[in-house]
């Protein structure tokens, strides 16, 4: 029998906040994680994005902290990106409406002065990215002696982003006696390593098989020969503005994201589309995300900087304009749709060089992504010489990755041309030289 939130030992203030937020039935991760967290157990949670894991650790944390106390933080929540940190802080504010707990948000990309001033006023919960937390700790603005709870969210992404050294430094400066909660969508070797240093006899909660997409997401794959045809297919799909009413388009580089944004901007005007990536200023990114959340814009073009921690309800579609090279990011990208029991669609465009990563993604998620034929109305452009060369070179690199002895079709073609040129030059030289007459030697007497 499925639990309701009233089955958990929360106080009236938290129950009222949950009711006001419109939640009645806990998700699977919430149902399995809240009770052992309230009981003080260390938790290792394997849960994909969109399963409600933020509330799974925020709600019991608020119940255990209850009210403002002292000057220094009693809980630290570490996240890989500022966007995710902001999302968690929003959840804390939502569920602590009737509590007087103080939360401070710490992340880089802007000066630390305001953050330092907030810490001086007193804090109960710190939500931070590892780099900014360490910076302010080393400046003497954070006292860790009162910390009783340490949460690490999106641990796999933190490892991918190279935070392992910073995490170990943080573990050295926080009290040994504390409750630890680690959440991750996938369980890579690096996550296992940090979990071994971080958790003592944890309760392992896995709500679905590792790296499996949410069951509410319908996946589709189109084989598309080149960039121009991808743009044609995108334009064709977006004609159905009723179905594609709120979507995120993921690109692998800032340059591609900007190109897609400018293409869509010309078609749909600036008030329908925004772009976010690492080169965009902090305020621009925040404003774009807020405009998307509030429904003021229809399309958000993004690199993987926004793949995690972007919690927007009713995202109808995620379009992978490029296949992610870090294959785990596929699960996180498509997890932006089909959230909180809603249904969603994830559509992926793959050129010949990206099929290598599609195979790896299918192995990771243990299922095949259904393939659809390109619609007849989509004009298939001819692949330009430079793009054709780039695709051939990329395919060679992929084969060489799996077989180091492989010389490569691109390599062989290049060498064949080179040798043909050398041979032609040799023949030319030989043809231009006067032939020497052979002299018959007289036999020896």
pLDDT recorded at residue 351: 96
Q: Would you tell me how many other CB atoms lie within 10 Å of the CB of residue 410?
A: 18
| CATH for the stretch 217-400 | 3.40.50.300
C-alpha distances in Å from residue 308, one per residue of 215, 279, 336, 349: 18, 17, 8, 20
Please tell me the predicted confidence (pLDDT) of residue 327.
Answer: 80
- Residues contacting 354, CB < 8 A, separation 6+: 322, 323
Q: What is the pLDDT of residue 421?
A: 65
Q: Please, are residues 154 and 191 in contact by the beta-carbon 8 Å criterion?
A: no
Specify the residue for token string 């927007």: 312
Strand runs (DSSP E) across 39-89, as ranges?
A: 43-46, 75-78
Say how far apart CA 67 and CA 254 lie, in whole Å: 44
3-state helix vs strand vs coil in the chain, percent to 5: 45, 15, 40
Residue 331, pLDDT score: 81
How many Cβ atoms are within 10 Å of 141's Cβ, its own excluded?
16
Q: Is 318 helix (H, G, I), strand (E, B) or coil?
A: strand
Query: pLDDT 10s digit of each residue in the chain, 445 long?
Result: 557 788 888 999 999 999 888 787 888 889 999 999 999 999 999 887 667 889 999 999 999 998 999 999 999 999 998 888 988 998 999 999 999 999 999 998 888 999 999 999 999 999 999 999 999 999 999 999 999 999 999 888 888 788 889 999 999 999 999 999 999 877 777 788 888 888 878 898 988 655 566 678 899 999 999 999 999 999 999 999 888 989 999 999 889 999 999 999 988 877 889 998 877 776 788 788 888 888 889 999 998 865 555 667 788 999 999 999 878 788 878 888 876 667 889 999 999 999 999 999 998 888 899 999 999 999 999 999 999 999 999 998 888 877 766 665 555 555 556 556 656 666 666 566 555 454 555 555 4
Would you say the CATH fold of 217-400 matches that of 5-206?
yes
Would you kindly state where each structural domain of the chain is located, as residue ranges?
A: 5-206, 217-400
Structure tokens at 163: 């935070």
Q: Which residues lie closer than 8 Å to 383 by C-beta, 6 or more apart? A: 225, 226, 391
Taking a C-beta distance cutoff of 8 angstroms, is the pair 176, 17 a contact?
no
Determine the pLDDT at residue 349: 97
Q: Note the pLDDT of residue 352.
A: 95
Q: What is d(CA 343, CA 290) in angstroms, rounded to the nearest whole number?
A: 22
**CA atoms within 13 A of residue 102's CA, in its CB half-sphere:** 14
**CA neighbor of 295 nearest in space, from 269, 309, 314, 308:** 314
* pLDDT on residue 12: 92
Give me the CATH topology for the region 5-206.
Rossmann fold (3.40.50)
Exposed/middle/buried for residue 259 (C-beta within 10 Å: 0-12, 13-18, 19+): middle
CA atoms lying within 13 Å on the CB side of residue 351: 23
**Residue 381: exposed, middle, or buried by beta-carbon count in 10 A (0-12, 13-18, 19+)?**
middle
pLDDT number for residue 69: 93
């Amino acid at each position: 029998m499925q639990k309701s939130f009233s089955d958990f030992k929360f106080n009236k203030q938290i129950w009222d906040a949950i009711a006001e937020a419109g939640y009645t039935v806990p998700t699977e991760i919430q149902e399995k994680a809240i009770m052992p967290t309230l009981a003080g157990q260390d938790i290792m949670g394997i849960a994909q994005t969109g399963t409600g894991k933020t509330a799974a650790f925020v709600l019991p944390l608020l119940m255990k902290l209850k009210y403002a106390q002292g000057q220094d933080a009693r809980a630290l929540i570490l996240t890989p990106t500022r966007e995710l940190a902001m999302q968690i802080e929003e959840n804390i504010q939502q569920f602590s409406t009737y509590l007087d707990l103080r939360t401070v948000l710490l992340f880089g990309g802007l000066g630390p002065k305001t953050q330092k001033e907030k810490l001086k006023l007193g804090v109960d919960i710190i939500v931070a990215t590892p780099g900014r937390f360490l910076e302010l700790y080393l400046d003497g603005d954070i006292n860790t002696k009162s910390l009783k709870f340490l949460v690490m969210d999106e641990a796999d992404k933190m490892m991918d982003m190279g935070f392992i050294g910073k995490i170990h430094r943080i573990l050295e400066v926080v009290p040994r006696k504390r409750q630890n909660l680690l959440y991750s969508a996938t369980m890579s070797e690096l996550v296992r390593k940090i979990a071994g240093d971080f958790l003592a006899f944890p309760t392992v909660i896995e709500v679905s098989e590792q790296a499996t997409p949410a069951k509410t997401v319908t996946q589709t794959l189109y084989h598309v020969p080149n960039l121009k045809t991808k743009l044609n297919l995108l334009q064709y799909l977006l004609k159905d503005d009723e179905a594609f009413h709120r979507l995120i388009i993921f690109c692998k580089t800032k340059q591609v994201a900007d190109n897609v944004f400018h293409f869509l901007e010309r078609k749909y005007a600036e008030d329908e589309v925004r772009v976010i990536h690492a080169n965009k200023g902090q305020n621009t990114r925040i404003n774009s995300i807020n405009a998307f959340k509030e429904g003021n814009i229809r399309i958000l073009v993004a690199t993987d900087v926004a793949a995690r921690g972007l919690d927007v309800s009713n995202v109808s579609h995620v379009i992978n304009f490029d296949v992610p090279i870090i294959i785990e990011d596929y699960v996180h990208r498509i997890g932006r749709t089909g959230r909180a029991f809603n249904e969603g669609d994830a559509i992926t465009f793959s050129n010949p060089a990206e099929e290598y990563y599609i195979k790896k993604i299918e192995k990771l998620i243990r299922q095949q992504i259904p393939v659809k034929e390109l619609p007849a109305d989509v004009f298939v452009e001819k692949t330009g010489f430079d793009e054709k060369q780039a695709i051939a070179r990329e395919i060679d690199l992929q084969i060489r990755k799996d077989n180091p002895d492989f010389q490569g079709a691109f390599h062989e073609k290049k060498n064949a041309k080179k040798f043909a040129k050398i041979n032609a030059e040799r023949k030319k030289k030989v043809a231009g030289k006067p032939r020497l007459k052979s002299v018959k030697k007289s036999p020896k007497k």
